[in-house]
Amino acid sequence: MSPAQPDGQPWDLRGVLLPQLAEASADRPLSIYVHIPFCQVRCGYCDFNTYTVGFGPGADRVSYDSSALAEMRLAARILSDAQMPARPASSIFFGGGTPTLLDPAALARLLEGIRQNFGIAPGAEVTVEANPESVDEAVLESLREAGFTRVSFGMQSAVPTVLRTLDRRHDPTKLPGLVLAARQLGLDVSVDLIYGAPGESLQDWEVSLREAIAMEPDHISAYALVIEEGTKMGAQVARGELPMPDPDDEASKYEIADRLLGEAGYVWYEISNFARRESGEEGPSTQLRHASKHNLAYWRDWDWWGFGPGAHSHVGRYRWWNVKHPSAYAQRVTQGFSPAQAGEILDAQTREMERVLLAVRTSEGVDAPRAGAERDTFLQALPTLASEGLIESAPAAQGRAIVTLQGRLLADYVTRCLLGY
């Protein structure tokens, strides 16, 4: 289960990238994502590509690393054949699914595979997502020793009834100890929160935020619950058993998050992401020590290779995505074929549009497209958006859109105005 991949065009079975379209450049950093497609149970709201069972050799929890390692070897060859200069990974993210369902030794082998095939840049951010119920101090220590520098805990809420609605299994009282252990090990710590679950009151949300802040993580992500079609929760909402999240309630919760996190020293650098500002630390919030480099790589349209079933990759003008099922994936990579299912070659207009879509969500904001009708549309929208209080006035006068708090609440509308649709 989880939604279908986009259509795209069929992909070369060897995964060949042409140098002129891969846009070889040593200046554009390379980021790496490793997808771990397994979970203990399926949370009712989640539509990520993840499975609670294994599918045999190369596609189960004990042997999956061998498949991802095979894709890494293939990727290194493809990039070298495309005449890409060697670029050690500047950020790495192990996500899921539940990466911590794999043995830490398997996660260490995967990280070693990245080191051997691509190299890891000095000071690279190396994150692993961890579900609180699947880690303990010993696991955290092994991950630290293997070279992970950052752990992102799926906290979601501190309120037991909300956790139950979300089908989360962890005991919220265990998380503070885990966060403390991770910090004492020298890991950077992030926690993910979700707001807007059916039945969650404003007070529940405030409790979750205060509990998260009390753990003093370096970074907090706060996501509005999205009701995804094809999920258990999507069906419950469709049948009227659960209410659809109320946009006004979600807006109030975002405002509470912005206020409480701001008071506690966390600064927004992307709509859903807040980094702790160290004392004496200055400069734009996207450059804060604790702002996720990996997140920023996506938003800046740099190159990234996503390993694993269903993972998406982007190199120069290429974008492609892998087959979704773990056994189809394992079969392809063990036979030496690319696991790419399909992809597309991005034209300048699409890239420009995506640049606006992503950058508008960051505190850096977004400049007008360089030329064409898109530039005119963008520039014409600025004065109105500024007068509506949705973007800051001074940067708007210089052709740049930086969303205000009000604009963050209406980011989709701001984007539509800037792109003219």
Binding site residues, ligand SF4, CB under 6 A: 39, 42-43, 46, 48, 50, 96-98, 131, 154
- Please identify, using beta-carbon distances, which residue of 106 and 409 lies nearer to ligand SF4: 106
CB of 44 to ligand SF4, least distance (A): 9
- Please identify, using beta-carbon distances, which residue of 307 and 318 lies nearer to ligand SF4: 307
Q: List the single partner that 55 binds among ligand SAM, ligand SF4, none, CB under 5 to 8 Å by kind.
A: none
Q: Does 165 bind ligand SAM (CB under 6 A)?
A: no
Of 44, 58, 96, 306, the residue at the interface with ligand SAM (CB under 6 A) is 96
Give yes or no for a cis peptide into 283 (omega within 30° of 0). Answer: no
* Nearest CA-CA partner of 134 in 99, 91, 109: 99
Rounded CA separation 328/101 (Å):
21
CB of 278 to ligand SAM, least distance (A): 24
CA distances from 53 to 24, 39, 40 (A): 40, 8, 8
Site size toward ligand SAM (CB under 6 A) is: 16
Tokens matching residue 32: 């790496």
CB of 335 to ligand SAM, least distance (A): 29
Q: Does 269 bind ligand SAM (CB under 6 A)?
A: no
- Please identify, using beta-carbon distances, which residue of 152 and 363 lies nearer to ligand SF4: 152
CB of 218 to ligand SAM, least distance (A): 16
Q: Does 235 bind ligand SAM (CB under 6 A)?
A: no
Q: List the single partner that 270 binds among ligand SF4, ligand SAM, none, CB under 5 to 8 Å by kind.
A: none
- Please identify, using beta-carbon distances, which residue of 18 and 226 lies nearer to ligand SAM: 226
CB of 346 to ligand SAM, least distance (A): 25
CA distances from 331 to 107, 197, 315 (A): 21, 38, 24
Q: Enumerate residues 6+ apart whose C-beta is below 8 A from 96.
A: 35, 36, 37, 38, 39, 48, 50, 129
Q: Does 11 bind ligand SAM (CB under 6 A)?
A: no
Of 21, 226, 235, 342, the residue at the interface with ligand SAM (CB under 6 A) is 226
Pick the stretch among 44-52, 84-92, 377-385, 391-399 that binds ligand SAM (CB under 6 A): 44-52
Which residues lie near ligand SAM (CB under 6 A)?
A: 45-46, 48, 95-96, 98, 129, 131, 154, 156, 192, 194, 223, 225-226, 228
